[in-house]
Amino acid sequence: MKIGLVSSKNRDNDIEFNVNEIKRYVRENRDVDLLCFGESFLQGFEGLCWTYEKDYKRAFSKDDEVIKELRKLARDYKTALSFGFIEKYEKNIYSSNMVIDSNGDIIDIFKRVSKGWKEAIATEEYKEGTGFHSFILNSKLFVTAICGDLWHDDLLEKIDEISADIMLWPLYIDYSIEQWNSEALYEYQERVKGIKCPVMMINSFVDLPDRANGGCYVFLNGSVDQLLPMGNIGVLKVEI
């Protein structure tokens, strides 16, 4: 199985641009079985204003037209997709990650479990998921965690119980390249060293000052196994 981790340009509240980026990477990477994008990719990480009525309109359900469009894209190109998005489910709003298989079927929606994605002013309608679960794609057992989910010891223990073959870790981090390379990268390696499967980190690139600098990394046994260094745009292709 070949997985593409995408360090893609991303814009807040520019759905058309973000969807077109997904389409472009799918067209240009026909050799990949699964293409993975970062946290909150569809709306952008700063795509919320924390006014519930406005944000609920910005969020997507699994039945919205943009999701149908991406399902058709996956089906037409026989390429599975993973991407973060702000999800509306019933009356609530979540930071979620969706996986669509190469037949265009939604096979997983994971809701972030940790609370670090939202501002302190967020009302009770901004919620977290209740736990982790696995899904199967191309005979591999996957588990997803979003950004800060891996920074809680009790959550790490629950993830370890799943015994997955692959972990997807979409996130948004805005370290400077210097800070990442000199310090933060080693903290991230140390944090995930207890996870027994490859941990595939996907970060977006936001072309604005003090925002995310992209980069994709595969961590294994506490070390960097493969990487597309922070500061770069493109696809890290990983054979599993």
pTM: 0.97
Distance of CA 38 to the CA centre of its chain: 4
pLDDT at position 81, please?
Answer: 99
Question: Among residues of the chain, what percentage have pLDDT more than 90?
Answer: 99
- The range of the structural domain enclosing residue 146 comes to 2-239
pLDDT at position 210, please?
Answer: 96
CATH number at residue 201: 3.60.110.10
Q: Are 46 and 12 in contact (CB under 8 A)?
A: yes
pLDDT tens-digit map of 148-178: 999 999 999 999 899 999 999 999 999 999 9
Residue 8 binned pLDDT confidence (cut-offs 50, 70, 90):
very high
Work out the mean pLDDT of the chain and round it to a whole number: 98
Residue 234 binned pLDDT confidence (cut-offs 50, 70, 90):
very high
Nearest to 47 by CA among 82, 97, 12: 12
pLDDT at position 28, please?
Answer: 98
If you search the block for the tokens 């037949």, which residue do you land on? 103
pLDDT tens-digit map of 19-70: 999 999 999 999 999 999 999 999 999 999 999 999 999 999 999 999 999 9
Residue 95 binned pLDDT confidence (cut-offs 50, 70, 90):
very high
pLDDT at position 45, please?
Answer: 96
pLDDT at position 74, please?
Answer: 99
Q: For the chain, what is the domain count?
A: 1
Of 93-97, 153-157, 236-240, give the lowest mean pLDDT range.
153-157
Residue 201 binned pLDDT confidence (cut-offs 50, 70, 90):
very high
Question: Among residues of the chain, what percentage have pLDDT more than 70?
Answer: 100
Q: Are 46 and 88 in contact (CB under 8 A)?
A: no
Quick one: average pLDDT of 164-193? 98
Residue 205 binned pLDDT confidence (cut-offs 50, 70, 90):
very high
